Structure 1
Amino acid sequence: MTIVVRPYEASDWDDISRIHDAARWDELRGAGLVDAYLSLAETYENEGLFDDDVWVAELDRRVAGFLAGSADEITWAYVDPALYRRGVGRALVEHVLARATGPVELEVLEGNSARAFYEAVGFVWQSTTTGKLAGNESFRATGHTLVWRPASDAG
């Protein structure tokens, strides 16, 4: 089992769409927001998927997940549900954290089981807010901001 993380290429679109669309159901189900579902094709432009770096993880040469973000924030992270618990998400997050020079933040919906994963890789709770759901603003959601700090960052 080999996981390789590499930059997104336009030819990855079908794979990341399939992954997002399957995994998004799990994310929204945990938050009690399945009625808020939108496909990647319906939301990627409005939510700025390609505003930052996009990384793809391949498991045995098959696209298995993707992550988008900047030097200080993870904005998108999805793994193929058929490949959960195989190290794909960890490889993507560790790839980004290895490049971080300061704190990295992300938001996770209330009820999303991914929160436990992020805490296991070193993220800690910073705040909780309730407001419009990013990507489908007609719904209200509660989200938690988690932050990771490099060992050298005492702040």
Structure 2
Amino acid sequence: MTIRPYDAARDADACLAVWRDASRAGHPFLGENALAADAVLVRDVYLPKAEIAVAEEDGRVVGFVALLGDIVGGLFVDPAWHGRGIGRALVLHAAERKGGLAVDVYEANTGARAFYRRLGFVEKGRQETDSRNRPHPLLRLRRPG
């Protein structure tokens, strides 16, 4: 596996596909309509604003981490590649560049919460709604540098 900088012309479609598949797996409580609406924001707003590193295996994008400063705005790994250390490698790659990291995780996404806990993140706060004001609580997790 190789971790490299994101190239919008080369990687945007692949990252959006990874985002979609990983979001379906990790956020089934959102539903397809919400994911379709979110896909437009991911493509048009979030990907262009973020500092992104992609994980590539045999020339194929299998995951990415999107940073907004020291905040992990998104960490997504193709579900077919879960359990192979890709997410961990992407978080550690981000931590090497930024030091301490923060991330907001859906409270209902118990797999993500356990993943981040294993990497040293601790809960620092909670809000009742997500960034789109939907009634899905978010937990703010922090990993010291």
Question: Structure 2 unaligned runs (5+)?
Answer: none
Q: Secondary structure at the match of 1:44?
A: helix
Instruction: Report if the CA contact (8 A) 1:8-1:55 is conserved.
Output: yes
Q: Percent identity?
A: 32
Q: How much has 1:108 moved relative to structure 2?
A: 0.4
Structure 1 match to 2:40: 42
Deviations 1:73-120 (A, max 9, x none): 11011000100001111111000001124x311000012111111110
Instruction: Report if the CA contact (8 A) 2:16-2:42 is conserved.
Output: no
Q: How much has 1:40 moved relative to structure 2?
A: 6.1
Instruction: Report if the CA contact (8 A) 1:21-1:40 is conserved.
Output: no
Distance change in 2, residues 1:59/1:46 (3 Å): closer
Structure 1 match to 2:103: 106
The whole-number CA distance in structure 2 between the counterparts of 1:33 and 1:63 is 24
- Answer with 1 or 2: which has the greater Rg: 1
Q: Which has the higher contact order (CA 8 A, sep 6+)?
A: 1
- How many aligned positions are there? 142
Distance change in 2, residues 1:62/1:98 (3 Å): same
Instruction: Report if the CA contact (8 A) 1:65-1:89 is conserved.
Output: yes
What RMSD over aligned residues (CA atoms) do the two structures have, in Å?
1.9
The whole-number CA distance in structure 2 between the counterparts of 1:80 and 1:45 is 17
Q: How much has 1:129 moved relative to structure 2?
A: 0.8
Q: Secondary structure at the match of 1:57?
A: strand
Q: Secondary structure at the match of 1:92?
A: helix
The whole-number CA distance in structure 2 between the counterparts of 1:46 and 1:94 is 27
Distance change in 2, residues 1:40/1:91 (3 Å): farther
Q: How much has 1:46 moved relative to structure 2?
A: 6.1
The TM-score with structure 2 as length reference comes to 0.88
Question: Structure 1 unaligned runs (5+)?
Answer: 151-155
Q: Is 1:149–2:141 an aligned residue pair?
A: no
Q: Secondary structure at the match of 1:37?
A: helix
Q: How much has 1:7 moved relative to structure 2?
A: 0.5
Q: Secondary structure at the match of 1:49?
A: helix
